[in-house]
Homo-oligomer: A and B are copies of this chain.
Amino acid sequence: MTLNPADTGFVDHLRALLPADTLRPADPRYLQEPRGRYHGQAGVIALPRSTEEVATLLRAAHAARVPVVPYGGGTGLVGGQIMGAEGPAPLVISLERMTALREVYPQENVIAVEAGMILADVQRAATEAGRLFPLSLAAEGTARIGGTLATNAGGVNVLRYGNARDLCLGLEAVLPNGEIWQGLSRLRKDNTGYDLRNLLIGAEGTLGIITAASLKLSPIPAEEGTAILTVASPAAAIDLLAMARDQLGETISAFELIHRQGLEFLRETLPDLRLPFDDLPDWCVLIDLGLPWGRSPAEALAAVFESALEAGLCADGVIAQSEAQRQALWSVREHIPEGNRRIGSVSSHDISVPISRIPDFIVEGGKRLAALGDMRINCFGHLGDGNLHYNVFPAQGKDRRAYEHLRDDVKRCVHDLTHEYDGSVSAEHGIGRLKVADLQRYGDPVKLAAMQAIKQALDPHGIMNPGAVVPLAD
């Protein structure tokens, strides 16, 4: 299966089919990604204005066997949006001109948007309709909704509202052969055949291009509250989560684990940031609550705190009594990645393990890494989802360059352990090109074979985002 480059002849052919300004030479910003690991080939960029134009582009690429890279906001962390020198120059299709709000249905708690809409704009449009679109992540000012669906993005509210997959009711998409699937349903119940929607979600642009989506909205909580409670251990944190859920049901919006190491990094690198405790605890959790009217979040959190004290799960805590205090608590959690960045990690990992295995995982991880060398570990993240950011740093006073030779071993050690604990080596960032080898190593072989068969069935020429997710044929 040989692919052809998006050369002058192909581009001239496209120019004859599309408005004059649809195609442009490669602009460097489409050829870079946030961590600077992948560099795209200078090729051609298409900026379609409609689903029909996307279909025209894919029909032409399908016929000419030209590789296609779908491009959203470019914020992916695993190289899914960058095709390097491993194949012929691709046609990059950016959805940035397809940003229309198709329709809001407040009564139905549904919004339909084009795939190029920025995530923060989707949130804003929901708010203007008196509703909440709960998908929230660091890159929301740049990420586009099509990309967040193609990668099944997560973020801080997954515990309550689910990930991107769970928030999508329907898709409009162009399949690799250039045909348009009109699947922009807004039905909550529809059992009519195979679930093509969930197949495209998380396929990272390898099975088609999402052009529009209908998304679930939620009521805006009437009042929100936040607390940070110290816990003796990750095991105590998990017990506290169960207790809080029994008392507060689905109203817990976030439950984040914070390790002493992260607070120490903040104290060292961001000394002006106010920390909630003078004596730093080994572990603490941030609990965020959104309640319908009729009950005070601070009171509800105080009741949880009291039960946790009685049960010996918790020794100290701070409950926000105002929105300003609430923001201050969140600020601690939100600055942890910045503290990490300033210290400089040896290796970072986006992993998940079954929630009840987290305590053992953390103990065992510490032991195995100590056997490799003297390093500090900041393990924090979305405990309620079993999703840990397990980041490894140089020992105090040492430089990360002294650990270069260890990086691959550290990554392998953490990923092997994750796999042993029935976990995932990509909890929310996806496979892209960075983790294709990991997926082959850790993935179930029967699933991998089924993925290859599905890829071959829907994209027989292999034009869609070659090299991402599914390995290139030899």
Q: Give the interface of A toward B (CB within 8 A).
A: 105-110, 151-152, 154, 158-159, 163, 165-166, 175, 179-183, 185-196, 198-199, 201-203, 207, 218-219, 221-222, 238-239, 242, 245-251, 290-295, 300, 303, 352-356, 382, 384-387, 422-431, 435, 439, 442-444, 446-451, 453-454, 456-458, 469-470
Contacts and interface: CB of A to CB of B under 8 A. Distances in A.
A215 to B, nearest CB: 14
Contacts of A447: 181, 183, 193-194, 196
A457 B247 CA distance: 48
Nearest to A207: B194
A17 to B, nearest CB: 20
Given A109-B245, A187-B423, A192-B443, 4 more contacts: A151-B191, A159-B188, A188-B352, A195-B203
A427 B192 CA distance: 8
Contacts of A187: 352-354, 386, 422-424, 427
A371 to B, nearest CB: 27
A165 B190 CA distance: 11
A189 B175 contact: no
Contact of A456 (B107, B158, B457): B457
A58 B425 CA distance: 31
19 contacts: A105-B354, A105-B355, A107-B356, A108-B355, A110-B354, A188-B384, A189-B352, A189-B385, A191-B202, A191-B426, A191-B430, A192-B442, A192-B443, A193-B469, A194-B203, A194-B207, A194-B469, A249-B251, A249-B290
Contact of A192 (B109, B195, B218, B439): B439
A150 to B, nearest CB: 11
Contact of A458 (B201, B251, B448, B453): B453
Contact of A188 (B109, B386, B439): B386
Minimum-distance CB pairs A-B, first 4: A457-B457, A198-B198, A249-B292, A190-B424
A301 to B, nearest CB: 12
Nearest to A423: B187
A107 B251 contact: no
Nearest to A182: B444
Contacts of A469: 193-194
A103 to B, nearest CB: 10
Nearest to A459: B453
B245 A219 contact: yes
A352 B108 CA distance: 13
A250 B265 CA distance: 38
A107 B183 contact: no
B189 A424 contact: yes
B107 A239 contact: yes
B443 A193 contact: yes
A294 to B, nearest CB: 6
Contact of A444 (B181, B221, B353): B181
Contacts of A239: 107
A186 B354 contact: yes
A313 to B, nearest CB: 13
A342 to B, nearest CB: 27
A175 B448 CA distance: 12
Nearest to A300: B294
A225 to B, nearest CB: 13
B457 A158 contact: no
A429 B191 CA distance: 7
Contact of A189 (B154, B185, B193, B431): B154
Given A429-B191, A457-B456, A292 B248 contact: yes
A151 B195 CA distance: 11
A109 B181 CA distance: 36
A292 B189 contact: no
Contact of A175 (B248, B353, B446): B446
B158 A188 contact: yes
Nearest to A384: B188
A8 to B, nearest CB: 32
A221 B249 contact: yes
Given A108-B354, A219-B245, A449-B179, A195 B198 contact: yes
A194 B150 CA distance: 11
